[in-house]
Structure formats: C-alpha cells, structure tokens
Amino acid sequence: MVVPVEMSRKRPVSLSSSLARRLEQLILDGTLKSGKPIPSERQLAERLGVSRNILREALKELRGRGVIDTQHGRGSIVKGLVPNLEQGNALTYLFREHPRTLYDLLEVRELLEGRAAYLAADRGTEEDFHRITHAFEAMEQAGQESTDPVRSAQLDHAFHQTISEASHNPVLVHTLQSLMELMLNSVLASVNNLYHRETSKKQIDRHHRQIYNAVIGRQPDWAQKAATAHIRNVRERLLEIEQEEQRLDRSSDWEKLLR
Amino acid sequence: MVVPVEMSRKRPVSLSSSLARRLEQLILDGTLKSGKPIPSERQLAERLGVSRNILREALKELRGRGVIDTQHGRGSIVKGLVPNLEQGNALTYLFREHPRTLYDLLEVRELLEGRAAYLAADRGTEEDFHRITHAFEAMEQAGQESTDPVRSAQLDHAFHQTISEASHNPVLVHTLQSLMELMLNSVLASVNNLYHRETSKKQIDRHHRQIYNAVIGRQPDWAQKAATAHIRNVRERLLEIEQEEQRLDRSSDWEKLLR
DNA sequence: TCATTTCAACTGGTACTACCACTTTGACTA
DNA sequence: TAGTCAAAGTGGTAGTACCAGTTGAAATGA
C-alpha cells in the first residue's frame, strides 16, 4: 500500500514521475519486453499500489517520450528503448553486398555473448536462472524429438537471449538483439544448416550445456570462456560450410539466399 | 482518383494531448508569457471546460517537454517554448535520468574498443596507421593549444574511430559508432567535464599515447589492454563526477534552507 | 455447417469529489 | 518590533463512476 520513495534530488520527485522511472527500469531490465503489451492500467495501478489517476500520468510521461504506444480500448505496448541501435539499414545493405560480413558480426557477437554470460553468472538472479533453465530444457528436449531446424534456431536464440537478459545490462541486451535480428533476417538459411549436421549439432549441444552449467553454477570466467568458444565454433563451422558451398556451386548460393 | 487526405488519421487525438497543444498555442500567442506563472490548475480546468485530471495530464506532457516548470504548493511557470527540437529521442532523457545506463553503455564500449584496438594492431594497413597517426597528432596538438572541450571531444572521437576502422570489421565500426552517437548526444556535457580536469586530462592523454604506440607497434594484446583500461577509466571518472554533482545538489539545498 | 450478428467483458478516456502536502500571507500574539 | 501560527491558496493522490473503443465468444441466421 504505502510505497516508500527514496530520492536525493533537488526537488521532491512526484510519485507519478518516480513511477515512470520505475516502469522504465522494468523495461530496461527486460521485465517488460519491447513489443509486448504491458498490463492494463487498472492492474498496474493496483499492483503498484497507486491510484489509476497517477498511474495514467506516469504512462502519459512515457508516452510523450515515445517509450510506449497506447491505443484506446486495446492497451499499451512497449515501443522499446535505445531506438538508435536499430542499425538495420546500413548493415543490411552490407550483408547483401558482402556476405562475409557475417563473420565480422560473429566476431563482435563472440565478445558480447561472452561478456553477457560472464555477467549473467555474476549478477543473475534466481528468477533469471529459472528462465534460463526453462529455455535450456526446452532446447534439449526439442533437440531429441524434433529435427526442425527453424524451431531449433528459435530455441537457440531464446536461450542466448535469456542469458543476455540475466546480465542486467540493457545496452548489452539491445545490442545483441540487434545483431541477432540482423543475422536471422539475412542468413537464417545458412545458420540452419548447422543443425543438419550431426557432428555440429552434438558440439553445439555440448557448448550449450557448458554455458548453462557455468552460468547456473555462478562461474563467470567459465561461462565467458564457454560462450566465446561456442560462438567462435559457430563462426568456423559457417566458414567451412561456405567454402563447401563455394566448391559445389561457384556462382553463389549466398546471393540467392540473401536476396 | 482523389484520395481523402485525412484518412490516415486513424487514431483520435486524446483530449489531454490536444489540450497540451492549445496551451502551447497560448504560449506562442503571448497570452501566457515566458517566465510568468500560469493560472492554477483548478482555474484553468474550469476555464477550459475540462476536468482537472485531464488538465493535469496535459500539463504533465508540457512539463515532460520542458515547456513549463511546476513546484508543489506554488504553481507552474512558463519556461519558454521550443527549447530543443531534436530532444525527441527518448535517449537524452534516459541517460540523464538513468545514469546507470551510461555505465552499461561504457561497459559494452570497453569490450568493443578493446577488440577494435587489438584488431587494428593485428590487421591494420599502413594507410590505416597513417590516418591514426594523423588523428593522434591533431589531438595532441589541440590539447596543448586550445582548451575547447567540444573540440577535444570531437578529436577524441575521431581518434577512436580511425582505430575502429582499422579493425576492418564493419560491424564493429558501426556498433561502436552507434554507441558513440548515443553517448555524445545525451551526455556530452558530462563527458566534456572530463577535459576540464587537469588530472583526468593527463591520464587520458597518457592512455591515448599507450593505445597509439601499441597499435602502431603492432602489439595487439597491449593495444587491447590499453584501450579497455582507457574506457574503464572514463567510466570511473564519470561515476566520480556524478557523485560530485549529487553532493552539489544537496549543498544547494542547504543554501535554500538557510535563506 | 458455416457465416453473421450480437453482446458481454475487457481496454483506455474523462469527469467529479474529497483529501493530503506544501507555500505564502497576514493577522495576531509575546 | 519580532515572532507565531492559522487560513487560504497551490499542486499531488486517491477513489468512484461513467463513457467510448476493442475483442472474442456465444447466439443467431442462412
């Protein structure tokens, strides 16, 4: 009921403003995910222990700043923060023209995933670990039952994303997300090839298990090492695949795939 | 073939938002003069024929846009209109109100700059080194002559950018660029503070020289170590500055109490 | 059976009232 | 004269009631 408001600002912070702040923090932490709807005003107001009036003022503030989008009768959705990181245009062009950029991307991703795993092991909460476990088990189970490469890629992505979110670094999360979207949008087909090869699949599964155990076991250094090794492995595999394909079809499978 | 123009206006404008517009118009017309107080909420609400709730939401919008300034128990005054046009991006606010995000960003930047320096030392061409040298010398020279913090920041940025470009990883370059734009647009003032402090400046110059020498000398590991240390140092300095500013805020509160 | 209509239960938008917290002012007191 | 303090003004919150779009599932029609 009574919500303590701590502050050290010049002027006393109004409840509605600090509310807006709290909501933003929730978005940054990933509790409220970009693109997803947020609870209704009545629910939120009750859950946060404030009147709907004041909750509305807070939402108004977020809305004015473009953080959320609201429609009468439907609800509000998170529009996402850090829009400047939508690097779509410039880089999608690059991918079309120079497929090798994929390895450059994986080079960056290797760094970021490693750091994310480190931080996740270091400052992830029990709830984070719960989500990670859930994603991991879903991935393992699907790996035994189904052979659908698309689903595998999705679960893979989900697993890595839960880990990055456990890092509690929103900039890291959003950057990785941007890179992943870029990758999935442009070269999904090639990535899927990985899951068709038994040797690759086994290796990937082993890496995933290493990452998972290290994070859950709160072993930051191991987690980082496992994650970087994982991405590096993916990168090398893709390189092999590409060379193979080039041998088979000199004239570019790539461009067809990327178009 | 004539297409009604206003068909795209699917969403009705909420009363509170249009109210905010009307109030802004009143300010533009001079009815509400800059610096002067505006009528109380109760008066305004009655005069405009709306509920006080909705009037408050409108004021909240103006307040969020920096058009008016409100104090509990006193009232609201017009701060002036059109303060900053490009303020639109939520990031400016985000970084101002959530300083932690800045450290999150620098945490990511530390990784990327380190890797960029490593790669630059490893696979940079002579031409790259030429550009880096050019940028480095310009920075050093300006450091002795001028004390313009803005120019210093620009040259600093240019130096780091030439290095990242020497990494020949476009994804890395682009990601770093995005992060830098984010930072410069939002917290330029704070960053500039760094160049005002002699001790900071000396330390920064030393780090830059270390990075430069390591890259030019083709010492990837040293380059990486120097670059990460550099960014980490910046991060810690900014933390100090922020804490200082918070102390200043509190002391100014004391003055107010004594007066 | 399938397409259509209808309606109930959501959602956000607006109004009104009562009260709390802060600031200013000025009359009253010491 | 200097200090006290209470009233009246201000913005801040809470709560209720109702209006207005949206949705989806049950009821209806062909």
φ/ψ region of B124 (left if φ > 0, alpha if ψ in -120 to 50, else beta) reads beta
More confident residue, A209 or B258: A209
- Nearest nucleotide to the CA of B12, by C1', is D21
Give the tens place of pLDDT for each residue, A110-134: 999 999 999 999 999 898 899 899 9
In this structure, what DSSP letter does residue B67 have?
Answer: S
Give the tens place of pLDDT for each residue, B121-147: 999 999 899 999 999 999 888 877 766
**CB–CB of B252 and A53 under 8 A?**
no
Give the tens place of pLDDT for each residue, A31-65: 676 677 888 898 899 888 899 999 999 998 888 77
Give the tens place of pLDDT for each residue, B137-187: 998 888 777 666 667 777 888 999 999 989 988 789 888 887 887 776 555
Tokens of residue A200, six digits: 């690759």
Phi, psi torsion values for B188, nearest 5 degrees: -55, -40
Checking if the pLDDT of B95 tops 90, the result is no
Residue B175 CA to residue A179 CA, distance in Å, equals 9
Quote the strand ranges of B146-207, DSSP E. none
**CB–CB of B112 and A115 under 8 A?**
no
The whole-chain average pLDDT of chain B stands at 76
Q: How many residues does chain B have?
A: 259
Residue B243 CA to residue B42 CA, distance in Å, equals 39
Give the tens place of pLDDT for each residue, A163-198: 998 998 888 887 888 788 777 655 554 555 555 666
Mean pLDDT of the region A206-213 = 94
**CB–CB of A11 and B71 under 8 A?**
yes
Helix or strand holding residue A76 (H, E): strand A75-78
Residue A242 CA to residue A196 CA, distance in Å, equals 14
Domains (range + CATH), chain B: 15-78 (1.10.10.10), 89-247 (1.20.120.530)
pLDDT recorded at residue A26? 76
Of the pLDDT bands very low, low, confident and very high (cuts 50, 70, 90), residue B17 is: confident
Checking if the pLDDT of B231 tops 80, the result is yes
Phi, psi torsion values for A68, nearest 5 degrees: -125, 165
- Nearest nucleotide to the CA of B63, by C1', is D11
Residue A6 CA to residue A13 CA, distance in Å, equals 9
Which of B12, B94, B108 lies closest to A169 in CB terms? B108
Taking a C-beta distance cutoff of 8 angstroms, is the pair B110, B99 a contact? no
pLDDT recorded at residue B26? 74
Protein A69 CA to nucleic acid D22 C1', in Å?
16
Checking if the pLDDT of A18 tops 50, the result is yes
Give the tens place of pLDDT for each residue, B22-33: 887 777 656 676
Residue B64 CA to residue A11 CA, distance in Å, equals 15
pLDDT recorded at residue B23? 83
Tokens of residue A166, six digits: 């456990």
